[in-house]
Structure 1
């Protein structure tokens, strides 16, 4: 397979189309009289260095410990989304889904310990109200990203690990008309899947009015080669194979976004007024071909012959969807000595999934296996896979849904004051958030699959595309056609029971005050934030009667940040801060299933307490040259009420009024205690020209984070916080000169507990090697600059492993390499 196939005709046409955009102003004249104006220029710009310098200047003069990444840096990495970009910052690690970056573990903490905002307006996570997903937010909207690690009082309290603030583009960033476009075509190596990338952004402004509009669409077709295992060891330590699960996924993932900002700027009391809107959507269309082989009498050893096994088959065509629609109306005023900023925001998020699975059970084979290579299990059958007869086929359908409506009012005010004879800035503000969540957790429905549909007729005979050896002879089915036939025959969607309902209302009223006092040696930021939370959740008791649980609590969150200029280029930071993390809507829901016979309850836990954290951050930063830094940082967090899955005792009266005062067993999310997380962060970015001028253009960026975390369960057992790797590091080597910009990047993270899978499941170490090459064309087209680029991801073709609680591998996945070629234009 030629990795440079890339549908060349389409790509050439795309580049020509983008190039032609720069001639739009000339199209009014007859073609015969048009003259293409080419101005030959010498390209000496260094966008990597320039963007690093801008980011480091913002970091150096910030009032807190923060890492910053600029839009140009994002554009020059081979990143699929903002999660990829953030994963290159110190202390930020990526969790992937089928190889694609989705979540961020900031400092190895659970996903929900990080809040996300657009231009300072924090928004709910579409998945469960708390967890931000970064795979649906494209880079076209982003001018820069701030990863705040030490939290100021003006930032949301729900930022135990950090606060990610995504700055969008301003209409006034460039006077007059400006435009940028990005179009790319590529290929996922395994399966020859098509990759399409498209982004446009245009703006116009004069002295008082400005507008910026953007749109993007990206799609990726991919094969995921998956093997799952149920393994154990016998008393002698020999491997025992209970079950082998062979899967091949065909997925198409699409993300799109559009929106913009309309803005007025004045010189009177009304300094600024604007309206901004953002709609972002992620769609995952998934086809699954799956065969599960369970051995009737498991034996010891890595190899075995002629073993009887039962076979189940699952064929799915389903869809995962989530979207965020956020609108902000804002105004900035100058009233006497006070600068006021008022914001009103509405955000709607939707998260839906529907997974219909024809589930054939009761097949049988005689099989032999060889598990010598755990990443390539070999299973051979005594017959052709397509000839296996199944006792019955069931129609299994999973569905999930959560809609969140959020309203926010935010008012901030600041003014210059004098404090103890020193110049200072006093800032205060209030914020009111009101959220409603409606939906249901993952709910199954099962019945007989329509007998009128012959599943075997949908077998295409096409062999699986895989990195592993397809010893079972797996072939693809026409899952889409099979799903269409099922829809026509009457697909039954799940109707959620009362135990699965999510119905919750939440109101958070926050107020803060802070001062930033300037000294000859730096500054000191002190302040406090107070957040009052009121929430109510609805469910049903065992008799079907409504159950409503509500609560109210207040958190006082003080912080102090000391920033000392040891020299003009050396800064010492010491910060003490506090934060909290509220339970997700799934965890906080009152709905649960109760068994009055066993006195057991499973489901939500509306009595969960919010996690509370206090901690300290220190950092020493040396800005030893333009666009260069050497820094070391350390942090510590103490966390109370850690939320995790376990068994506890509750009052049975919550779910059965007649059982009030009785001790029932609750199985689900509970509060642990004595949580801690700590770490050390090292960061270096340097350019060879600062030391050896003859090596002008070469540079290196490297960072490493060493982490540790733990908490105690109800019985005193110690666990690691989900998401914590012991070590995370990134290394990039780059060169840029004369318009050429290249970067080779290596990412590594040690093993960690999965926050989204079973708490007993551990991800194995993960590494990625990525390459990007871009070249700015050495001529000017009517003021427009153009560049072409080539990106390659996962060059070493990694296989990702996961492990069960007994230490055996329970899953391996591979995806192949990814290539993208495209062009950018801006003027």
Structure 2
């Protein structure tokens, strides 16, 4: 009969207790008589606090030799296994597998830097967390990439559910700029990039808001207002382990539809001796030509029953991005629906130059199928970041069965982004069609669409925009965790706080010139040139033509807080009438989350408050101008052979903000959302045989009860036709509850060959910003966007099955197939019209009276179906031939297929926005005791980024990036490294519906860094 023993941690015998508390790795054992192996391991477990995991089908139950008193735990274990043909291997600091000896080296005989300490704070609780799935503690690995991969494979194997992990070396010793970029190497994980920086994480191609993120078991606030976490604010150096849990158990906090990213920071008893790590590097960006510093340190020590750890990381980043963008489709209803000659002239030009006869100019079902370019912009971004993060941990561990830990994580992420934009807005409110030089009625003929490729317009709005975005985010997290492991009972509890405060200060200095122009698509973007009509001009070199319109400012403050408390209780069982039942676990969790948002905007139009003396009088030439090649570091605009002059943001802030100026908050824009969640769960662990196949299973159910209060000012329309907000705040309560079942199973079909299966129901709550009372106006698009307090969660019913072959030396081959049926997806939908809204120009004059469409987030009817295949290969090549010792590959591939979403109001069927059908990562490496080298390529296939005007799918092109890392250990304690990010200088690009209609072309350059790391 197969036995999988999860030998519970017991209190050490009185004689050994003191020594075990001080250093369990060297604790003296009592004598153990010769006896069957399972009984001997039980005795050793009670003495040392170790847990042992093994299959009796493979290991058998041989009679072990006796062990004399006074041996260390490692020596006693080696003695017990002597002559049995078995070896041992650590999964983490207190959990050990017993397996057939294939000639490998037991963990304990590895160098001290690579072997986990037996003094780690919280041992793995397999029965409590789904056979070891959830509470795997940080594994410290220093300087060995292959060892970090092997540890990650151990974590995957021990987990009852589907998961993948990266540990210290793979997190912090690869060429990455933040935590998001470290996670892109996990199977099934891709990232969203913005101006050369990884920002958000997608698990299995699903949108980032479908992923639940926690740090030290506390769901994380980031100030975004959504459920997604802004990973770019977290420094990778302060993170020690990340596990991406893809199939939840009932003990998990809802699970996440895409998955759960579980982040762990280091604790003092993770190290068996005093530890000090220092690192520093400088990184050069190829476009900005700036060198950015970055440094980090970690210090940990223990004294008796106490331990302390602190870590700190600080980095600056200056990155320049050159881009053409904004070249989206605009429906011809913009011109055809206009009153007066604008609409009639547009119809006449369409008939004359394109042979398109419009039957009804006010019928948007007809006019939305005729499209032209919205805007062409040449833009330069300069993004400067100042980021720091720190962790602290204080731990009390009087024995290997009990610990109390206080963890703290603090950080700040400040960014200043300057954007200098020379743009031509084809859809100007003064303009209409003049001449159609080229049109396309064939590319999108299946949708009945005509695209105007090359058009002259009567009065294009040319814009010179100097934009400045200053974002400041402060985040903090504090938690206290208690872990106690008795012989039959195990208890762990946590209470904590996670909070973020974010301030966003935006300004836009806007100069405008109206004149005829010609705008057209080019091979990779678009361009605007003077038209043949009179009064055309060179938009890049005529500063005297541009008139001041406004210096626009907005200010937003977001406070995002979450309090949480939970307790988990496990009862270990050994029932004669039901031997397969190994344990039961139950627990409760309570969270209280709140988001507050304040917002205001103000336009400066003159040298004093309320003064409009500059509007349409002051020109761009009246301000000191600088060439773009001088205003930002790095020289010439790299996308086109262009140079132009603009006002620097430094000058704009000092010259246009008059004394005493501030952007006031608008009381009507304030909102607050409070969410309280109570969760209860129960689950069981089983181990049994089906024929000759050993099986482990975890089954459970989670009950979730949620209460929501949305508080704010409700948008109204006054009798005179103007819009506003209620005079007093209003609130609305909502609630929902549900049962979330889960089942995870593994079957060991042969030695090292696991069949894994999982099924569950999961949920993701709507973003707090979506359920708030608020109304946001887009005056140029004639649209209001309201919140929706009645939103419900998005649910998924999902299952997965896979095969995993575990080989020697950490090698792994795995394949799995999964399916997700997702209901209640939140989309923005047209919900009404506000008639007769007055729109005003910057100088206060009336622009016109318009009907505004109202859009709200709603739960879409129907469901998505997402199917996927995931392949993983991790192979140390030395297993094939001695000459390949030190070489290896780590590769993964994910392929998705989704039902079409149909979010387009034109009925154009598209995949779920954000879902990429094919992603893959490949890392090839070599390392020895002194030298290591890694080459990594990650690829994300094209995906729908958004739906323009809820009609036209906008695609992001496939993107691949090559990163390289080379390291040399000068001494045992000192290592130098050279790293490169995006060495091939890949371009980010996109298109609307067809690649012949590009929307953006963005270059962010490559980064080369040189670093030094010291370990003591």
Instruction: Within 5 Å, give how 1:204-353 maps onto structure 2.
Output: 204-230=301-327, 243-267=375-399, 271-294=402-425, 297=434, 299-301=436-438, 309-334=460-485, 337-353=488-504
Q: For structure 1, list consecutive stretches of 5 or more residues without a partner in the other structure.
A: 1-40, 653-663
- Looking at structure 2, the residues matched to 645 and 279 of structure 1 have their Cα atoms a distance apart, in angstroms, of 35
Partner residue in 1 for 2:744? 561
- Cα 1:322–1:692 change in 2 (3 A) is same
Partner residue in 2 for 1:603? 786
Please, which moves more after superposition, 448-457 or 184-193? 448-457
- Cα 1:387–1:602 change in 2 (3 A) is closer
Partner residue in 2 for 1:682? 871
Q: Deviations over 1:667-709 (max 9, x none)?
A: 2111112122221101111122111221222222221111122
- Looking at structure 1, the residues matched to 929 and 526 of structure 2 have their Cα atoms a distance apart, in angstroms, of 46
- Looking at structure 2, the residues matched to 751 and 166 of structure 1 have their Cα atoms a distance apart, in angstroms, of 28
Q: Deviations over 1:517-544 (max 9, x none)?
A: 2235131000111110001101334243
State the Cα distance separating 1:601 from its structure 2 match: 6.9
- Looking at structure 1, the residues matched to 625 and 201 of structure 2 have their Cα atoms a distance apart, in angstroms, of 39
State the Cα distance separating 1:647 from its structure 2 match: 2.0
Partner residue in 1 for 2:1011? 822
Alpha carbons 1:289, 1:476 under 8 Å: kept: yes
Partner residue in 2 for 1:661? none
State the Cα distance separating 1:175 from its structure 2 match: 2.8
Partner residue in 2 for 1:10? none
Corresponding position: 1:505 with 2:674? yes
State the Cα distance separating 1:330 from its structure 2 match: 2.2
- Looking at structure 2, the residues matched to 775 and 809 of structure 1 have their Cα atoms a distance apart, in angstroms, of 44
- Cα 1:299–1:647 change in 2 (3 A) is same
- Cα 1:818–1:546 change in 2 (3 A) is same
Instruction: Within 5 Å, give how 1:458-497 maps onto structure 2.
Output: 458-461=624-627, 463=629, 465=635, 468-475=638-645, 477-496=647-666
Q: Deviations over 1:158-216 (max 9, x none)?
A: 51110111111120122332100110002111021222211111001134110010111
Alpha carbons 2:772, 2:787 under 8 Å: kept: yes
Please, which moves more after superposition, 233-242 or 719-728? 233-242
- Looking at structure 1, the residues matched to 503 and 992 of structure 2 have their Cα atoms a distance apart, in angstroms, of 29
Corresponding position: 1:773 with 2:966? yes
State the Cα distance separating 1:144 from its structure 2 match: 1.1
Partner residue in 1 for 2:956? 763
Corresponding position: 1:403 with 2:553? no
- Looking at structure 2, the residues matched to 612 and 469 of structure 1 have their Cα atoms a distance apart, in angstroms, of 44
- Cα 1:546–1:497 change in 2 (3 A) is closer
Three-state SS of the structure 1 residue aligned to 2:232 is: coil
Instruction: Within 5 Å, give how 1:57-76 maps onto structure 2.
Output: 57-76=154-173
State the Cα distance separating 1:604 from its structure 2 match: 0.3
Please, which moves more after superposition, 77-86 or 239-248? 239-248
- Looking at structure 1, the residues matched to 627 and 567 of structure 2 have their Cα atoms a distance apart, in angstroms, of 63
State the Cα distance separating 1:748 from its structure 2 match: 1.0
Partner residue in 2 for 1:445? 602
- Cα 1:706–1:313 change in 2 (3 A) is same
State the Cα distance separating 1:803 from its structure 2 match: 2.3
- Cα 1:712–1:455 change in 2 (3 A) is closer
Alpha carbons 1:46, 1:736 under 8 Å: kept: no
State the Cα distance separating 1:555 from its structure 2 match: 1.2
Partner residue in 1 for 2:29? none
- Cα 1:85–1:757 change in 2 (3 A) is farther
Q: Deviations over 1:316-354 (max 9, x none)?
A: 232122232110022223567322112110121112211
Instruction: Within 5 Å, give how 1:31-42 maps onto structure 2.
Output: none
State the Cα distance separating 1:357 from its structure 2 match: 1.1
- Looking at structure 1, the residues matched to 385 and 355 of structure 2 have their Cα atoms a distance apart, in angstroms, of 45
Alpha carbons 1:317, 1:480 under 8 Å: kept: no
1:535 aligned to which of 700, 703, 708: 708
Instruction: Within 5 Å, give how 1:775-794 maps onto structure 2.
Output: 775-777=968-970, 779-780=971-972, 785-794=973-982
Q: For structure 2, list consecutive stretches of 5 or more residues without a partner in the other structure.
A: 1-110, 115-141, 331-349, 357-369, 439-452, 531-536, 608-612, 717-725, 836-851
- Looking at structure 2, the residues matched to 758 and 440 of structure 1 have their Cα atoms a distance apart, in angstroms, of 27
Larger relative strand fraction: 1
Alpha carbons 1:193, 1:223 under 8 Å: kept: no
Partner residue in 2 for 1:373? 523
Please, which moves more after superposition, 541-550 or 421-430? 541-550
Please, which moves more after superposition, 741-750 or 544-553? 544-553
Alpha carbons 1:502, 1:585 under 8 Å: kept: no
Q: Deviations over 1:80-103 (max 9, x none)?
A: 111111111111111011110010
Three-state SS of the structure 2 residue aligned to 1:626 is: helix
- Looking at structure 2, the residues matched to 273 and 349 of structure 1 have their Cα atoms a distance apart, in angstroms, of 26
Alpha carbons 1:427, 1:514 under 8 Å: kept: yes
Q: Deviations over 1:465-520 (max 9, x none)?
A: 4563544422464312321233444544153352x333111100011111122235
Instruction: Within 5 Å, give how 1:83-98 maps onto structure 2.
Output: 83-98=180-195
Alpha carbons 2:325, 2:525 under 8 Å: kept: no
Alpha carbons 1:395, 1:449 under 8 Å: kept: no
- Looking at structure 2, the residues matched to 417 and 483 of structure 1 have their Cα atoms a distance apart, in angstroms, of 69
- Cα 1:717–1:641 change in 2 (3 A) is farther
Corresponding position: 1:390 with 2:546? yes
- Cα 1:476–1:174 change in 2 (3 A) is farther
Alpha carbons 1:362, 1:392 under 8 Å: kept: no
- Looking at structure 2, the residues matched to 396 and 361 of structure 1 have their Cα atoms a distance apart, in angstroms, of 13
Structure with more contact order per residue of length (Cα contacts < 8 Å, sep ≥ 6): 1
Instruction: Within 5 Å, give how 1:191-206 maps onto structure 2.
Output: 191-206=288-303
- Looking at structure 2, the residues matched to 459 and 619 of structure 1 have their Cα atoms a distance apart, in angstroms, of 62
Alpha carbons 1:113, 1:158 under 8 Å: kept: no
- Looking at structure 1, the residues matched to 420 and 1003 of structure 2 have their Cα atoms a distance apart, in angstroms, of 15
**TM-score, reference length from structure 2:** 0.70
2:727 aligned to which of 521, 544, 551: 544
- Looking at structure 2, the residues matched to 546 and 310 of structure 1 have their Cα atoms a distance apart, in angstroms, of 40
State the Cα distance separating 1:750 from its structure 2 match: 1.1
State the Cα distance separating 1:813 from its structure 2 match: 1.1
Q: Deviations over 1:55-93 (max 9, x none)?
A: 101111112110011111123321111111111111111
- Looking at structure 1, the residues matched to 908 and 526 of structure 2 have their Cα atoms a distance apart, in angstroms, of 36
Alpha carbons 2:543, 2:619 under 8 Å: kept: no
- Cα 1:493–1:425 change in 2 (3 A) is same
State the Cα distance separating 1:232 from its structure 2 match: 5.7
Three-state SS of the structure 2 residue aligned to 1:51 is: helix
Q: Deviations over 1:699-726 (max 9, x none)?
A: 2222111112244669897542221011
Q: Deviations over 1:16-41 (max 9, x none)?
A: xxxxxxxxxxxxxxxxxxxxxxxxx9
- Looking at structure 2, the residues matched to 817 and 298 of structure 1 have their Cα atoms a distance apart, in angstroms, of 42
Computing the radius of gyration from Cα coordinates, the structure with the larger value is 2
Partner residue in 1 for 2:593? 435
- Looking at structure 2, the residues matched to 588 and 47 of structure 1 have their Cα atoms a distance apart, in angstroms, of 47
- Cα 1:241–1:454 change in 2 (3 A) is closer
- Looking at structure 1, the residues matched to 470 and 157 of structure 2 have their Cα atoms a distance apart, in angstroms, of 45
Q: Deviations over 1:358-410 (max 9, x none)?
A: 1112354x767785432585858647625332233301113332202221111
Please, which moves more after superposition, 273-282 or 572-581? 273-282
Alpha carbons 1:322, 1:352 under 8 Å: kept: yes
Corresponding position: 1:614 with 2:614? no
The Cα RMSD (Å) is: 3.3
Partner residue in 1 for 2:759? 576
State the Cα distance separating 1:546 from its structure 2 match: 3.1
Partner residue in 2 for 1:38? none
State the Cα distance separating 1:436 from its structure 2 match: 1.7
- Cα 1:449–1:463 change in 2 (3 A) is farther
Partner residue in 2 for 1:36? none
Partner residue in 2 for 1:113? 210
Corresponding position: 1:634 with 2:812? no
- Cα 1:142–1:594 change in 2 (3 A) is closer
- Looking at structure 2, the residues matched to 49 and 176 of structure 1 have their Cα atoms a distance apart, in angstroms, of 23
